[in-house]
Amino acid sequence: MSEVRFDDRVVIVTGAGNGLGKSHALAFAKRGAKVVVNDLGGSAHGEGASTTAAQTVVNEIKAMGGEAVANYDSVTDGDKIVQCALDNFGKIDVVVNNAGILRDVSFHKMTDADWDLVYNVHVKGAYKVTHAAWPHMRDKQYGRVIFTASAAGIYGNFGQANYSMAKLALHGFSQTLALEGKKYNITSNTIAPIAGSRLTATIMPPQILEQLKPEFVSPLVLKLASEGHTETSGLYEVGAGWIGKLRWNRTLGHGFPISAELTPEQINEKWSVITDFSKSSHPGSGQEALMQIMQNLQNK
């Protein structure tokens, strides 16, 4: 099998000063990519700023003979991050939206700041960086975009209403970019990783964190970002050496006649059928999902 390489490719990794982002940046550089190592240098809760984290990763890349430049802008200033790539390397091929923070608190105690800061970093930040890179990818008819979701976004997690909101939003964002980018040879995929990092250090015991190495996640990111990978709109859970792909699963449901009034009592009567997953379908698009519903217009 041919080696996955990124020679002459320019890659932006946001939040690359620590954890997963650092692992991604190093992995890309080892395989020939020119890397923009972006990190504001703030805390895991979105406070403060420093140039140390990003510059340390750049120094490490250069020490092993790679090419990289540090960028210290907030992801909400995504145009500056993309301009950094253009100024230093002349183009942009891959965007890995990895930057993130936590503001964990139960919903009834959550403040507007808790909600807005998480939204701004995860969702608005990913939008700003990707939106700035998008026209350059379209013009070259090549691009690879990776979004970082979470199990919290897929399944929910107590105390993380803001984080869960943001993480599932990114997958919806990615699915639409996959549709719009397809004819321009731009793919967009989402990972939901589990790995030891500043963000998981507060919710997992140290002995588990030590084994959940970010290096178990980065190879999938490189696979999805490679030129040979043309699948798009996927969602992948990854961690501890395990990788799986997720898809929507829908019961076959029940169609009621549209020629008569539909009542809650009728729905109660058929509830066991409506919620029965022993037989199910897997709509792959909005059109596929709508088709089965529209067919019920003939049920009179």
Annotated catalytic residues are 163
DSSP-assigned states of every residue in 247-279: ---EE---PPPTTS---HHHHHHTHHHHT-TTS
How far is CA 76 from its chain centroid? 16
| Contact by Cβ (8 Å): 83, 38 | no
Per-residue 3-state assignment (H helix, E strand, C coil) for 189-245: EEEEECCCCCCCCCCCCHHHHCCCCHHHCHHHHHHHHCCCCCCCCCEEEEECCEEEE
Using the structure block, give the residue that is written with the tokens 């690879």. Answer: 144
DSSP, collapsed to helix, strand or coil, labels residue 10 as strand
Rounded Cα–Cα distance for residues 224 and 186 (Å): 11
